Every structure is written in structure tokens, then in C-alpha cells.
Structure 1
Amino acid sequence: MAVKKNRPNRRKTSTGNRPIITLIVVAVILCAILVLLEWLKSTTSRVLEQKPPIAQEERHKLPARQSYNQIELQPYTSAMPEHKPQHKKKPVSVGTVAIIVDDMGTNLQEAKALMAINVPLTFSLIPGLPKVREVDKLASERGYQVMIHIPMEPKGYPKQRLEENGILLSQTDAEIEKRLGSYFKQVPHAAGANNHMGSRFSEDDQKMRLVLNQLKARSLFFVDSRTTPDSVGLSLARSMEVYAAGRNVFLDNTQDVPAITAQLEQLAALARKKGSAIGICHPHKTTIQALAIHLPRLKKEGIIFVPAGDLVR
């Protein structure tokens, strides 16, 4: 009977401790939750601090898109192109041109029509023509350079016509010097000279030396018209220290405006490529028409026109 009396006392003691245990468990759980939250907060902060800024991720930005007229298309290659620094393009040489108008001196109208183009052409006058002195004077007054167009013996002479006052291989040195002296008197403002015809005369070293000596004595330059590929004029002049140059393009062998236009374009292209070029033409109506149309255009495109004397060396 004593045992049965003691059991109610043990159940009473166990029931009385239960609220305290519950509180302890709840407190432990709350503490654990708080510790877990604090750990999560700390971990998140460290992760955020270690994350690089957004701007640093753009190390491989794509270049801005360009249109086809802004870029140069290259052949396909799987290799990465080598980076090269960008440099400003050097200006392209515009080209310098001198145009000599041969056979001048027949009349003043030709000279005035050419002057109206307002480009520094060079007039080469044949001594003995009726208006040589007048053209020489007018050109000098208006600032145009003048040359003497020396009539020289061509191949095929006498069947090939030549002015009566021309110089021939058969003439003595004294006769040639006399004729040259008359040329200088008729064209007193001449800055230089070039050969009219002369495909035979300009191949003769001794006779050409005689002519070049007369030019050198008067400080005149020489332009070899190159009427023959075997001319010694230019090389001999250089060896004698006479300022000289050679003709590059004949402009009007064909008397047709489109043909002359094509020759002018060739002259301009050569000048752009080499820096300078000399063209020779004649005062034909079609030539003057072509020059009047195209020289102002070429000038706007960058071609620099100068007197022939500016291109000798």
C-alpha cells in the first residue's frame, strides 16, 4: 500500500518542471536562429564586398558598328588582327603641271584666247612668224612666260618642210650662231627655248652643244620636245649645267576634243604620280577649246599649273 501512495508524488514533480524546459528549448532555438541569421548576414556582406564593380566587367567591349563606307574590308582570316596605332593619312600629292603652247606668233587672237583661260601657260614662239614681237610683248606684260621655239632640221628634210630661218646640220657653226642671235632679238623676253621639229638635229651631239652653249650664255633654260627617242638634248644640257627638262605628253597630235581631253587626263595622272609633268600643245581651235573646258576643272581638282621654267633643274 505504501508504494501506491508514492507514485502520484513523482508525476506531480515531473509536470511542474515541464514549462521551464520548454522555455529553455525555445530560448536555445531562438539563439540558434539569431546566430544563423547573423552568420548569413556576415557571409552575404563578404560576398558583396568581393564582387567586382560592373564597370570592370566591360573589359572586352565590342567596337561601335561601322558602315561599309567607313571600313576597309579585309580577306577572312581566323587569326586575331594585330593592333596598330592609328595615324593621320598623309596628304596625297596634287601634282604640278606646265603646259607649253608651241608655234605661237601667227596672231594676237590666239594668245588672247589662251590668256582668257586664266592659267599660267607658257608660250613658245617661232622666230620669223608675223606677230612674234607683239605676242612676246603682250605675254610679258600680262605675266606669261615666253620661250623660243627653235626650228631645227627634221628627218626627211627637205621633203619635210621647215621654216626658211631654221638651223640645219649642214650649216657652219658661225651660221647657226648667227641665226640663233636673230631668234634672241625677235623674242627678247624669252626665258628659255625648246626645239621645233629637230628629229635629226637633236640627235647630233656637236650641233646641240653649240645651241646649248648659246642658251647657257644668256641664262636660258632648255626643254627637250623629244621629237625623237634618240635626242641628246636633255642629257647633254644636264651635263653642261644648263637648266633643262623634257616633255612628257603631247596633248594634241589628234585634233579632237575628246582625244585632247584624254591626253590632259594622262598628263594630270602623271603629275600626281611623279610630282610634276610637262605637256606640249599647239594653238589650234580644238586645242584651245579643250584647254578652256578642262584646265579650270583640273585646277579645282588640285592640279597646280606653273610656267615651264618652274620645272627645269
Structure 2
Amino acid sequence: MVAIIIDDMGKRLQEARSLADIGVPLTFSIIPGLPKDRQVAAEAEQRGIELLIHMPMEPKGYPAKRLEENGLLLGQSDEEIRARVGKYLEALPQAVGANNHMGSNFTENREKMAVVLNILKSRGLFFIDSKTSPASIGYDLAEEMGVRSASRNVFLDNIQQADYISKQLSQAVDIARKRGSAIAICHPHPVTIQTLAAELPRLREEGVTFVPVSRLVH
């Protein structure tokens, strides 16, 4: 079983439609506050596509490395973080879970991650650790706190080239064949959408089962 999460959704409705048209179960992760966040969420709901909240979190190198204005920062109080996460949930009530957008700094901080995970737990939502930092404690802490969770195995499109994306997809499939399942993350770049449209139906015929990521959390 392979779950593919499309991060950074919410900019354009056409991306969502093109991805939905592939006809393979995918998971859209929407950044709250992007121009078409609610329209993309409505489209996903209509097409039976699972939704996550792509929570913007402080990266290493912030503020030189830019982050959305509604992002979560280590310097914010717990109250401010709760208020911001509450707004994400308000904007995207269809979401069944969340994963981190950026966050190489934030996901290494136990105290602040606990604030976020507590909210997800209280709403019955799960957490996917995007693993933007190898030192992220997101997944381990979620497990410890009893929040349903999983973590990413492969990034598909760090290089925006069809050959590279195909190779990364094969890697995700290899992991799934060995371990039973794998989670891959990519973005709605034109070349990514084209490559997924070409590869996923073929892989499905070869016996790969594509599933919404909720099937792989525990």
C-alpha cells in the first residue's frame, strides 16, 4: 500500500482537478490561507479525496527563510499557537489530519509540538510527520501522546524532473513491498502532476494499492 500526499495545495483549483482526474486515491494537504484553500477543499470533498491541513511551521533559518504570515513560530505563546491552529481547523473543517509545512525548527521542539498535538488529539485528528528535519520529534512524540500518526518515507519531487520523480516513486513502491506500506510526499508542480498521471495507473496495474494516508496511521 502506498499513500501519496500532495503538499502545498490551495493555490489553484486547476491543480486539484488535474490530480483528481488521475483517478487514484491521493491525499491533498492544504495550506490554510492560500487564495483557493476553501475551493480546493470543496473540490476534494466532492471528488472523495482525503484532506489534511498543511500547517506552516518555523523552519531553520527563519526569518531569512520565509514562512506564511499565519505560521507557527517557536517565539509564540502557547495561547497564540492554539489560536492559530484553531483558525486552520475553522478554515478546513473537512480535514481528517495534519502534517507540517516546512517546520525543520519547530518539529524539533518538544514543548511546542506538544501544544499542537494536544489540539489534534482533542479533535480526533492524526499527525503525519513530513520529516523536514531528520531530528524531528513529531512522530515519536505523537506516538507517546497517543495521537494517531505516521511519518513520511520518500519525497518524490525535490528535483522537478520526470525521471527523478519516477525513480522516487519506484523507491516508495520498493519500501511498500518490503514493509507493507509507504508514505510519499510531493507538490502540485506541473511535471509532478504529469508524471503521477503517467505512472500511477501503470503501478496500480502492477499490483500497487494506492490508499488515502489515513489507512496508514496507527
Is the TM-score greater than 0.5?
yes
Which residue is equivalent to 2:215? 310
Which residue is equivalent to 1:293? 198
Deviation at 1:137, TM superposition (A): 1.1
Which residue is equivalent to 2:98? 193
Distance 2:198 2:163 in 1: 11
Consecutive unaligned residues in structure 2, runs of 5 or more? none
Q: Deviations over 1:232-290 (max 9, x none)?
A: 10000001110000000000000000000000010111100110000000000000010
Give the % identical residues: 60
Higher relative contact order (CA 8 A, sep 6+): 2
Which residue is equivalent to 1:131? 36
Which residue is equivalent to 1:211? 116
Deviation at 1:123, TM superposition (A): 0.1
| 1:243 matched to 2:164 | no
**Length-normalised TM-score, structure 2:** 0.99
| 1:109 matched to 2:14 | yes
Deviation at 1:107, TM superposition (A): 1.2
Secondary structure of 2:60's partner?
A: coil
Distance 2:103 2:150 in 1: 16
| 1:266 matched to 2:171 | yes
Paired positions, count: 218
**Length-normalised TM-score, structure 1:** 0.69
Matching residue's letter, 1:99: I
- CA radius of gyration, larger in: 1
Superposed counterparts of 1:1-313, under 5 Å: 96-313=1-218
Matching residue's letter, 2:6: V
Distance 2:116 2:82 in 1: 8
Matching residue's letter, 1:226: K
Distance 2:43 2:59 in 1: 30
Give the CA RMSD over aligned residues: 0.4
Are the aligned partners of 1:119 and 1:295 in contact in 2 as well (CA < 8 Å)? yes
Deviation at 1:138, TM superposition (A): 1.2
Distance 1:137 1:272 in 2: 34
Distance 1:114 1:284 in 2: 11
Q: Deviations over 1:30-61 (max 9, x none)?
A: xxxxxxxxxxxxxxxxxxxxxxxxxxxxxxxx
**Deviant stretches of 4+, over 4 Å:** none
Distance 1:297 1:117 in 2: 11
Distance 1:136 1:285 in 2: 20
